[in-house]
Amino acid sequence: MAKHIAIICTPGQGHLIPALAVAGELVNRGYRVTLPTTAERQAQVEATGAAAPLYSSPMHENLAQQAVLAKDAKAADFDPASILPKFLEEAGATAPQFQSILEGDRPDLLVYDQLTWAGALLAEKWGVPHVVLFPSTVPVPEQPGLAGLQRFLPADKIAELDVELSAARARIGLGPSTVADFFAGTPELGVAFLTRSFQPFGDSVGEWAEFVGPCFGERIDNVGWQPPAGTDPLVYVSFGSVFNDQPSFFRTVIEAFRDEPVRVVMAIGQRVDRAELGEIPPNFEVLGFAPQLEILPHASVFLTHCGMGGTQEGLSFGVPLVGIPQMTEQQGNAERVVELGLGRHIPPAEVTASVLRTAVREVLADPDIKARLAAMQADIRDAGGTARAADVLERAVKEFGN
């Protein structure tokens, strides 16, 4: 019987998309893959050939109502003290569901996303071989991430998180623990969807982490998009699927580029009403949904919130980035883009039409940025992408099973 690999991943698109690409590759290689999902994402999962049993995700079901994701929310609203309890609550609510789905067909290998903590709880509960997926940067001693909570949270907040974690663990019969213990240590094996060259302090990450770069697979949302007519540089604007309820920002983009010699393709998501944006200039194409992998090959500049998925996708097509991060993780990505000479970083509080215009003009006029982007493209190609990620998981099935 074919070996069974289970992938537990948040339905957030930035996390799910690379996992789907790998799932599809594993299915093509003859593995049975189970990727529990929400009803909203079921068609995406099923398109890979993986089994897609449904579960309920309270955090994502309530996403639109969360105060931190309100219209025109500011980057300061996305602080760890408010976000981390939601992820722990999600782990407590979903771990029993994943346990029920997989209990009668335990996987030969359990793979889970770095923020889908229910996966870590199940790996501990069952004692099964497991691999952690990193759609964002890998924690390092210089930047310990969640392992260094005490650096940015007071003791009373950490104590509250300890209570929430122990409650989540109790839902599947595990004893109490602390977040310090939960986030300590190093996984036996990890797959990172970025290059080691993009990872801050990449040389300090051990060989346990396989940096495979961005992973692309067939996407059911490709629509055969074609670029708008003209030869002016194409500026692509997208804040992804979570941080896009930003009509004020989109109006500023319109003000910035309505009279510039550029074509603009702007993705505004499903929550912004086009009427909120005023008159759309003729050099703008405004989309509710944008098929990103069809647009990026034509783009000259990418204005982005610098989520890791979009960042890596932009770089894989050699597109310079103008990063306008909406939370701490994205700020780190934007700063890394600047460190590597691959684009610009604009703090959200400094966004004006003039600042946006200047950043895009500078990127388009930079004589050296193409060479640096070409080098990063080569790193991404050499990292191996989807095929190498599947190789790593295949090897894990064989080695961990012995």
301 strand-pairing partners: 235
Structural Rg of the chain based on CA atoms:
21
Q: How far apart are CA 360 and CA 304, in angstroms?
A: 12
**12 is written with which tokens?**
């957030």
d(Cα 352, Cα 186) in Å, to the nearest integer? 42
Measure CA 290 to chain center: 17
CA dist 255 and 278 (Å) reads: 10
SS3 33: strand
Give the CA distances from residue 168 to residues 86, 102, 119, 127, 187, in Å, rounded to whole numbers and listed in that order: 11, 18, 12, 18, 21
Torsion of CA 255, 237, 14, 202, to 10 degrees: -100
pLDDT of residue 186: 86
In which residue ranges of the chain is pLDDT below 70?
63-81, 144-145, 147-150, 219-222, 401-402
Q: Which residues contact 154 (CB under 8 A, 6 or more apart)?
A: none
**Residue 78: what are its φ and ψ, rounded to 5°?**
-95, 65
pTM above 0.85, yes or no: yes
pLDDT confidence of residue 241: 76
Which residue ranges make up each domain of the chain? 4-213+384-400, 234-381
DSSP H helices in 103-136? 117-126
What is 234-381's CATH topology? Rossmann fold (3.40.50)
Q: Name the nearest CA neighbour of 112 among 26, 31, 16, 46.
A: 16
DSSP state of 242: T
The pLDDT tens digits for 258-280 are 999 999 999 998 889 899 999 99
* Topology (CATH level 3) of domain 4-213+384-400: Rossmann fold (3.40.50)
- Under a CB-based contact definition with an 8 Å cutoff, are residues 315 and 373 in contact? yes
**Residue 68, pLDDT score:** 43
DSSP tag of 397: H
Please give the structure tokens belonging to residue 160: 């509250």
Same fold, 4-213+384-400 and 234-381: yes
The 8-class DSSP code of residue 302 comes to E
Handedness of CA 110, 111, 114, 115 (dihedral sign): negative
Output the pLDDT for position 63: 61
